[in-house]
Structure 1
Amino acid sequence: MVQRFEPLFSSADELEAFSDAIGPGAPGWTLEYREQVSSTSDWALQAARAGAGHGKTLVADAQTAGRGQRGRSWHSPPGAGLLFSSIVRGPGLTPDRMGWVALCAGWACAEALHAEAGIEVRLKWPNDLVALTAAPRKSWQKLGGILVESRVTEQLRVEYAVVGVGLNVNQQREELPQDARTPPASLRLLTGRVLGRRALLAAVLQRLALRFEWVRGSGDFVSVREGLREAYRSWWGGWMLRVRTPQGERAGQFESLTPHGRLRLTGPDGRAITLSDAEWIHGECAAP
């Protein structure tokens, strides 16, 4: 039985009105809502296999088997966060650009959270949304995550990608995971106020639509890529990072994202370290 809570949408009329309201900022994006699903990404993958188009977004208030990166679970009390998955597909979605899908989604979410909550949110490569802890010894707290799953044909054509998003919005401290690898936080704890989830969802979807115009071939991929690379330099320039890779831990200072979305560090010996699969496990801002 689902614990009772204030649903994101109480009727089909509310959902329709919401879709109409975001339409000008997210043309072609459509929504479906359910109170509870096993996973919004499973729901979206099923819809994508059935032919659902670009921008189809599946939203739920509760998940019984939410998934995160690297096979981990994603837990969120019913009605406290935002849980949704969007389908992206189009001629611009090519194998060499797949590394940018989670990054573009995270960037869009960070922009929307800043606009709606008034706090700076950064994307910790490649898919964690974080807020910084206080100086002088800055680190981060996790506000959300991105999970991207895709289908690539035998001809190496990307048929679609499903972008799953989980955001901690109105959770109290005791409702956040106590055993998380990265200390968790919610917008409510950081701002001291309860946020309207519907307004936040509208802001996120409109930013996603903008940041994914290149997928449809109607946007400039290079300008989006370079804008995101610049955002990373402003967020993480001067940070000393320790990361976990399949080959073991590495350490170095953040340098940049490569043109393919990989992480580039400068090691203690001054040599460049380029990583396509790594998890940030510790970071410290070397700059004052």
Structure 2
Amino acid sequence: MNTDLLAHSEAIWQAVEPLLPGFTVEVLPSIDSTNTELMRRARAGALDPVLLVAETQTAGRGRVGRSWHSRPGQSLTFSLALPLTPREWSGLSLAVGVSLAESLHPDVRLKWPNDLWLDGRKLGGILVETASLGHGGGASMPRGVVIGAGINLARPDTQVVSAMAAATPGAPAAMPPAGLAEVWMGVTAGEALARVAPALVRDVLRFAEEGFGAFAPGFARRDALAGRPVRLSDGTEGTARGVDEQGALLIQTAAGMRAITSAEVSVRPC
């Protein structure tokens, strides 16, 4: 068991429990996916807020079904589950990104809708999922939200970067990884978790009260795509122009401005 993660779990609990009564921290040596496990609990009606951290994920998941694998000491993988009744859900993943970036380092940027970038490379990813709690549906009914994050800690392996750069002919080049240790030398998983987790809880609760608008300025300051040429998954090209009040990506195309939601496209710089 990772004693570093365990050593920081008590301080995290003390910081968060007053905000979320009943809050617990669980540290596991290995699991298929922290998000999958907490979604299983949410669908079974579990209401208590929990932070689930794993040294290793064997079947971690990213957005649109992408896999995310973690190795002990090389990355930080965790999921936060809690019941939530926000005024509206739009922009939650962006607010989570703002929270994590502001906690980690001034150089961390946000690539819409759910990636953390460092020096133009992927540092981490975010996956937000929800499940109904109770019966009746309705806007006032709390939903269980599970917020998962995977953050690379170690400096990227140069052989891995070289292999990713040698993309298959005709296929888009894979994005090389970044590691938090590039800007935070010697960082451990426990140290990174202790820095991001309490702030994340506070910011999610703030989002529930104030919506994405409270985080829009922070996103704009760290928007990695703003002003850059981008290509949508449907082949459309244009220039990224920030996000709207709901967190939709604004793309200036030859046919005019388009507002893109996270369910419609994947976006990469041209």
Deviation of 1:252 (Å): 2.2
d(CA) in 1 for partners of 2:65, 2:13: 36
**Counterpart among 188, 192, 199 of residue 200 in structure 1:** 192
d(CA) in 2 for partners of 1:176, 1:99: 36
Q: Secondary structure at the match of 1:182?
A: coil
Decide whether the 8 Å contact of 2:76 with 2:189 is kept in 1.
yes
d(CA) in 1 for partners of 2:34, 2:84: 21
Which residue of 1 is the match for residue 260 of structure 2? 275
Residue 155 of structure 1 aligns with an amino acid whose one-letter code is G
Decide whether the 8 Å contact of 1:265 with 1:274 is kept in 2.
yes
The CA deviation string for residues 149-201 of structure 1, in whole angstroms up to 9 with x for no partner, is: 2124773556222111100012542586754832211012x227220321211
Deviation of 1:113 (Å): 0.7
**Count of aligned residue pairs for this structure pair:** 253
Q: Secondary structure at the match of 2:235?
A: strand
Q: Secondary structure at the match of 1:99?
A: coil
Say which structure, 1 or 2, has more relative contact order (CA 8 Å, 6+ apart). 2
d(CA) in 1 for partners of 2:113, 2:62: 13
**Alignment partner of 1:105 is 2:90:** no
**Counterpart among 33, 54, 58 of residue 52 in structure 2:** 58
User: Which range moved further: 99-108 or 120-129?
Assistant: 99-108
Percent identity between the two aligned chains: 27
Which residue of 2 is the match for residue 183 of structure 1? 176
d(CA) in 1 for partners of 2:92, 2:69: 23
Which residue of 1 is the match for residue 149 of structure 2? 165
Decide whether the 8 Å contact of 1:32 with 1:59 is kept in 2.
yes
Q: Gaps (5+ residues) in structure 1? A: 133-139, 284-288
Q: Secondary structure at the match of 1:278?
A: coil
In the TM superposition, structure 1's runs of 4+ consecutive aligned residues that sit over 6 Å from their partners are none
Which residue of 2 is the match for residue 84 of structure 1? 78
The correspondence of residues 254-269 of structure 1 with structure 2, limited to 5 A, is 254-268=240-254
Decide whether the 8 Å contact of 1:39 with 1:63 is kept in 2.
yes
The CA deviation string for residues 62-92 of structure 1, in whole angstroms up to 9 with x for no partner, is: 0111111111110222232111111132222
Decide whether the 8 Å contact of 2:56 with 2:69 is kept in 1.
no
Residue 105 of structure 1 aligns with an amino acid whose one-letter code is V
Decide whether the 8 Å contact of 2:12 with 2:198 is kept in 1.
no
Decide whether the 8 Å contact of 2:130 with 2:144 is kept in 1.
yes
Closer, same or farther in 2 for the Cα pair 1:101/1:273, shift >3 Å? same
d(CA) in 2 for partners of 1:51, 1:175: 45
**Alignment partner of 1:120 is 2:107:** yes
Q: Secondary structure at the match of 1:239?
A: coil
Q: Secondary structure at the match of 1:249?
A: coil
Decide whether the 8 Å contact of 1:187 with 1:195 is kept in 2.
yes
Q: TM-score if structure 2 supplies the norm length?
A: 0.81
Q: TM-score if structure 1 supplies the norm length?
A: 0.76
RMSD (Å) for aligned C-alpha atoms: 2.8
Closer, same or farther in 2 for the Cα pair 1:228/1:16, shift >3 Å? closer
Residue 240 of structure 1 aligns with an amino acid whose one-letter code is R
d(CA) in 2 for partners of 1:198, 1:55: 20
Q: Secondary structure at the match of 2:91?
A: helix
Q: Gaps (5+ residues) in structure 2? A: 165-172
